[in-house]
Amino acid sequence: MPATIPARAGALAGGVAAAGVACVAYGVLVERDWYRLRRETVPALAPGRPPLSVLHLSDLHLTAADGRRVEFLRRLADEPADLVVLTGDMLGAPEGLDPVLDVLGRFRPGLGAVAVLGSNDYWAPRFHNWVGYFRGPSSRRRRTGARNPWRELVAGLEDHGWLVLSNRRGRLGDVELAGMDDPHIRRDDPRVALPPSGEPARLRVGVVHSPYRRSLDAFERNGYGLLLAGHTHGGQVCLPGVGALVTNCDLPRSRARGLSQWGTSWLHVSGGLGTSKFARFRFACRPEASLLTVVPRG
């Protein structure tokens, strides 16, 4: 009888190991490239205002090897939208510049397209111990490592008609926008989130890569009705019934992806389309873009 106990324990350990291998294989081979377009309705407009469609993209992390992601983006470029907003981390490596500019040049929304930069647009990725993310956000100041061609990225986007809003304000039609550079590496300037200008706007949109509370609060208290962010990858690894395990910032895990209210504003955090080239894995957190239909309140 006692001899059966080690045998059962060994069988259990073997089963757990096999399940773990299967989960990793699924995350790497299936879910990482299982892209989807999510649709949300956001009641953020004043009564009587016409609806506004916003295609929210984030965290492309493109490299020369990401052909499936590029193909999904090409299909998204045909999706009708009034406004396209890309919340940073476009580059996955220096050689990702040409694929990024080629595919983003295909987008032709009705009002226009805007973007902000994320930390990975400035710096090429480095290997991190994944366990470190459970201790808090990754390093906010990267003083070593290879630079990504962010100046060329900005120039190329502007050549394609994109408005780059890193610590800048802009206006497209009757939509007022303000964007912050990435708070994750302390490049944000909350002063860009000014109160409304004299000209009325259908919607005021605050755009930032990393949804740190200080940035979201600055937009919210100055009357921005819709806040758009990325960075979290929706947690990237989620557990059924638990959700995201980390956000890599000070945003609560329950808000790692999707639509929620932030004070008087609506906050949408994109789950993003990519991963770091050193962590090509997703679990219970499919890569995604979002099409938001902004409608009148009530």
Phi and psi for 71 in degrees, rounded to 5?
-65, -40
Q: What is the average per-residue pLDDT within 91-119?
A: 97
Strands 243-244 and 238-239: antiparallel
Q: What is the average per-residue pLDDT within 85-93?
A: 97
Q: What is the pLDDT of residues 238-266, one digit of tens each?
A: 888 888 999 999 999 999 999 999 999 99
- The pair of structure tokens assigned to 252 is 């609560």
Q: What is the pLDDT of residues 64-86, one digit of tens each?
A: 999 999 999 999 999 999 999 99
pLDDT at 142: 47
Strands 288-296 and 52-57: antiparallel
Domains of the chain (ranges, CATH numbers): 34-296 (3.60.21)
Nearest Cα residue to 236 out of 84, 3, 27: 27
Contact yes or no for 184/204 (Cβ under 8 A): no
User: DSSP secondary structure string, 23-35?
Assistant: HHHHHHHTGGG--
Instruction: Please determine, for residue 128, whether its predicted confidence score (pLDDT) is greater than 70.
Output: no
Contact yes or no for 260/78 (Cβ under 8 A): no
pLDDT at 271: 96
Tell me the pLDDT of the chain averaged across its residues.
89
Instruction: Please determine, for residue 141, whether its predicted confidence score (pLDDT) is greater than 80.
Output: no
Q: What is the pLDDT of residues 209-232, one digit of tens each?
A: 999 999 999 999 999 999 999 999
Q: What is the pLDDT of residues 163-199, one digit of tens each?
A: 999 999 999 999 999 999 999 999 999 999 988 777 8
CB burial of residue 112 (10 Å; 0-12, 13-18, 19+): buried
